[in-house]
Structure 1
């Protein structure tokens, strides 16, 4: 923890105002955005002034982790506060042929806030079950507008998918936008096939602004999971640069501009000080697509891996008058922690009937305290136990085929890029961490709850 943030927090707490109303919550959640893909997280090429402004008014978490390096499990963990394995959503991503989804009997952030008088909306990519019984309105949301799975998947059975994106397709957006037969849904009804992906980020924002405006006199929870920058990449004509080298940059800067529209709306409606805004992403960047993917520097690797680049992601939270401005915390935190934390910040304490894995980190955010989280399990994109973070130590058991796993041990306080394997130097630490990760996983496995529907990828 930086002294500057501790000093700010201590000064700030003496003037912390009482809540005039229940705070609104806006959770902006991008897809496949890297740790380095915001100006305020070190990007030298991507300009994100509106998102940076949120960081200037609030706090950045630099050691924030998602529970899976791929989409569906990560989203399940975010909304339920549970490791994906605990809710049966750990075995990779869902596809248009999948007959399962997030079990509606699970308690979500939306369920909890709705039960406490909040208006709730999900606007964007869902990817937790495309069948009506698994869509957002079955999981606590009053309203849904968005695509049900990734934007490179086709309705109805994922057939005839074109090759993944290329510079040629970026150069011809008008043709490329017709190649993926991805549906757009309002509530449970498909209203457009294929969705116009050139305009979808802006249309999400249009719907979000309408929702905010319609609910300006009551507390609301807006979950805004953008379908970009997952490939294929698109932007509207006024945000387009024909040079494919700038494809990814265009998409992030367009998301930033649309974030600016949201924050302006809040200011115009007098809601800026009454709204908690969180900005983060589901996993690291899809590096193999080069200029169509992002950057996780200085971290190792990206999406699909349990290295830091796959699961450590940018995180920003802003709430003027309650979270000290301009802060940075290096404490270990996770998207699993957002459910109990949001419950705490909104004054709606969480008392779940079923066990969750999230921990309330509100004091980390508002008072600069140490994180109550000291451990974090790593699972592969297919849901296999792969490692444990404990303090600054990280153990990975990298399996390759049927052979013995390759044991890797890193001290992240000195080696954030995971370059120096210390397993042979500290065998006792390896043994201790391996025993602990097995214990933690065994409890989750024993008490795992059923997924919704019949498992079928």
Structure 2
């Protein structure tokens, strides 16, 4: 009887120990969910990093990140302008699907709808700490600020830092003062270019503090740096450091900032369990001349539906998971980041329809998969200006911005540009003609018909202002409640 009693006690003890060890294992597994750091640089062109061809200055930390990760060469911003592009990366949607377009100004009456589920909200529901330090630009009213969209912490500027009284275009000198935002409250005013020179370093310091604070639980750190959007400014240690002018000084400081974040991850023992993504919101603002970046030889720049407006650098690093030293030429977009990240982190997708496509297998090195084949080039409020399938791009006749044939500005003063140039319909083969110079419609009528069919499907879904079609599946931006 005693032996049987001891046997029962031993069995019970084993069960308890098994449960304890299983619980500890599950807890350890939960803690091993990857951290995510997302750098989203403002107006950085395809050719602005030395690993993408920049000359006369170096970006060594980003070059090393490319050596240790994968460099993407066919990566597109969802739309070539600030607010729209930011809506896309956080929602996984074409910006016109969620009612966002252009660049919202100060005191905007609209913002990103609270019904949209952002990447921060999805990861927060999975137990992540979430922080944003940098430029928001999705509505500056407290209704729409980051704490209302899934972020636990926010420090940064509410919109582009050229939307202030010192704007070089005196016709727009009625902008209100620009303040730092802490949480949802205004704090210190950014009054001068010397003040603006502290933007990058201040954001970097907050990022490092966030990593140290949350090192014991998974976190999502979103770093939308306001530079090198004009007006350019660098902190004292970096002014003149590059010997190649202010733009290169600013890039040197941004590169240093990336290096600081990567170094802090290693210092805290988080390096091997952190997915780091570096990309840009759109191409360069070319009429600013020596204060603008390079499109890397692609046509046009920011605010256009040509490749210079959409094609941006993208480097992704995660030791042991993302293939090191690799170049990937597959077509991908900023919208695809959300579904890819939530899958890697075990989080759920938004309830509403999104346009992003997950590419975890490709990220891990499987070159046999081809996640995305099509892309829609929407601009202005809801104008379908071009469509792409594989290497083929059909540009529709549309009024648009052009920088070509106009002398760019210098030393922070913008040169002229044409906003309503009449672009003709044209077909381009981006493999042979990445500069979009040779219209080959007449040689490829079958390709034109195929792309027209794709465009018609897009117009039914998302609409097209150029044809006065509203679309069936667009959602509304958020609007301030006037009765609050």
Deviation at 1:291, TM superposition (A): 0.6
Q: Partners of 1:403 and 1:55 in 2: how far apart? A: 38
Out of 119, 122, 127, the position equivalent to 1:112 is: 122
Contact kept in structure 1, 2:242 and 2:248, CA below 8 Å: no
Match of 1:59 in 2: 70
1:37 to partner: Cα distance = 0.4
| Cα distance in structure 1, aligned partners of 2:242 and 2:52 | 24
- Match of residue 6 from structure 2: none
State the TM-score, normalized to the length of structure 2: 0.83
Q: 2:226, 2:126 → 1: CA distance? A: 29
Question: Is 2:84 aligned against 1:82?
Answer: no
SS of the aligned residue for 1:53 comes to: helix
Task: Answer yes or no: is the 8 Å Cα contact 2:284–2:293 preserved in 1.
Answer: yes
Counterpart of 2:139 in structure 1 is 129
* Selected match of 2:356 from 355, 358, 362: 358
Report if aligned partners of 2:46, 2:52 keep a CA contact under 8 Å in 1: yes
> Residue 106 of structure 2 aligns to a residue in which SS?
coil
Mapping of residues 195-214 of structure 1, within 5 Å:
196-214=195-213
- Length-normalised TM-score, structure 1: 0.87
Q: Distance in 2 between matches of 1:21 and 1:319?
A: 13
Asked whether the 8 Å contact 2:126–2:346 carries over to 1, the reply is no
With over 3 angstroms needed to count, the CA separation of the structure-2 counterparts of 1:447 and 1:180, relative to structure 1, is closer
Q: Which runs of 5+ in 1 are unaligned?
A: 1-17, 155-160, 167-178
Q: Distance in 1 between matches of 2:359 and 2:241?
A: 43
What is the alpha-carbon distance in structure 2 between the residues aligned to residue 79 and residue 222 of structure 1? 12
Aligned to 1:398: 397
Alpha-carbon shift at residue 424 of structure 1 (Å):
2.7
Q: Is the 8 A contact 1:130 1:148 kept in 2?
A: yes
What is the CA–CA distance in structure 1 between the aligned matches of 2:35 and 2:421, rounded to whole Å? 51
**Alignment check: 8 A CA contact 1:75 1:128 kept:** yes
Q: Per the alignment, do residues 410 and 259 of structure 1 end up closer, same or farther by CA in structure 2, a change over 3 Å counting?
A: same
TM superposition shift of 1:144: 0.4
Indicate how the Cα distance of structure 1 residues 138 and 80 shifts in structure 2: closer, same or farther if over 3 A, else same. Answer: same
Give the 3 Å change call, closer, same or farther, for CA 165–198 of structure 1 in structure 2.
farther
The structure 1 residue matched to 2:50, chosen from 39, 58, 69, is: 39
CA distance in 2, matches of 1:245, 1:270: 36
In structure 1, C-alpha distance between the alignment counterparts of 2:349 and 2:229, rounded to whole Å: 35
Over the residues paired in the alignment, what is the CA RMSD in angstroms? 2.3
The answer to whether the Cα contact below 8 Å between 1:46 and 1:249 also exists between their aligned partners in 2 is yes
Separation (CA, whole Å) in 1 of partners of 2:260 and 2:125: 29
Name the counterpart of 1:275.
274
Secondary structure in structure 1 of the residue aligned to 2:233:
coil
State the match for 1:418 in structure 2.
436
Higher relative contact order (CA 8 A, sep 6+): 1
Q: CA deviation at 1:427?
A: 3.0
Answer yes or no: is 1:336 the counterpart of 2:335. Answer: yes
2:300 aligned residue: 301
The question of whether the paired residues in 1 share the 8 Å contact of 2:215 and 2:268 is answered with: yes
Runs (5+) with no aligned partner, structure 2: 1-28, 401-419, 463-470
Check conservation: 1:164, 1:231, Cα contact below 8 A.
no
Instruction: State the alpha-carbon separation in 1 of the partners of residues 305 and 350 from structure 2.
Output: 29
In structure 2, what is the Cα distance between the partners aligned to 1:117 and 1:279? 23
Measured in 1, the distance between the counterparts of 2:87 and 2:444 equals: 35
Whether the 8 Å CA contact 1:70–1:381 is kept in 2: the answer is no
Aligned residues: 419
2:111–2:144 CA contact under 8 A, matched in 1: yes
SS in structure 2 at match of 1:51: helix
What is the CA–CA distance in structure 1 between the aligned matches of 2:55 and 2:362, rounded to whole Å? Answer: 28
Query: 1:299–1:417: 8 Å Cα contact kept in structure 2?
Result: yes
Superposed CA deviations along residues 78-116 of structure 1, whole A, max 9, x for unmatched, are 0000001110002x1100031100011101100000000
1:404 CA drift (Å): 8.4
**In the aligned structure 2, how far is the partner of 1:46 from the partner of 1:299?**
20
